Amino acid sequence: MKAKGFFVTGTDTGVGKTVVAAGLVAALQNLGHNVGVMKPIATGGVKRRPNLVSPDAEFLAHVADAPEPLRIINPIILAEPLAPSVAARRAKIEIDLDLVRRSFEEIAAAHDLVIVEGIGGLLVPIISRTYRVADLAAEMGLPLIIVVRPDLGTLNHTLLTVEVARSRGLKIAGLVVNNYDADTADIAVETNPAELARETGLRVLAIVPHDTDTDPAKPALGPAVIEACQAIDFERLLR
């Protein structure tokens, strides 16, 4: 699988990968890029007759104004909000990685860049004990953008994620601190962005603020998220 773009992962579930991925899409489109989106595997699907649908995939498709149907953008969707390996086992189905590969190749062929949003963190099992999110990222060959929390505990979570990525030979484009609320920031939140850069040796590409105008359920992407992502030096990252 060959393409240009970024694989958006996070230090854990709920860190805001979808919002950051959407912000990246909007910022890159504003720079004139033709951007495709993909959520290869999702769990916690919502019933939309007759199919299950991933709200995350719907949001990315909306922001990107994607021409592809959701079955291509999100080829694997499982009902229960669990790790993919667990949700698939409980549903008594097998995850078809070839379906993911074909969908990725179709999207990559139609766009200059692809933003792929992973599921959970890098060690989340897709196929139990044999294939994890990190393996999917390695196959796609896209540099990682790691979404991290701003608050206490983020140093440990981020360092663990970076160590896993480096141990597997994955290229890391940088970190994005998400949901930063300057009005309520304590000393940990204030000092963490600089410490994250110092401890990992990576760039903090953007600090995305808490944005009440952003609501994937509507769906709506607030201007503060887009503005923060537009500050990223994409020209350097895409060389």
Provide the annotated active-site residues: 39
Q: How far is residue 29's CA from residue 56's CA, in Å, rounded to a whole number?
A: 19
Contact residues for 49 (Cβ-Cβ < 8 A; gap 6+): none
| Spatial CA neighbour of 9 closest among 195, 172, 236, 208 | 172
CA pair distance 221, 106, nearest whole angstrom? 26
Residue 37 burial (CB count, 10 A): 28
Give the pairing of strands 5-10 and 113-117.
parallel
Q: Return the DSSP state at 122.
A: T
Task: Report the alpha-carbon distance of residue 228 to residue 124 in Å, rounded.
Answer: 28
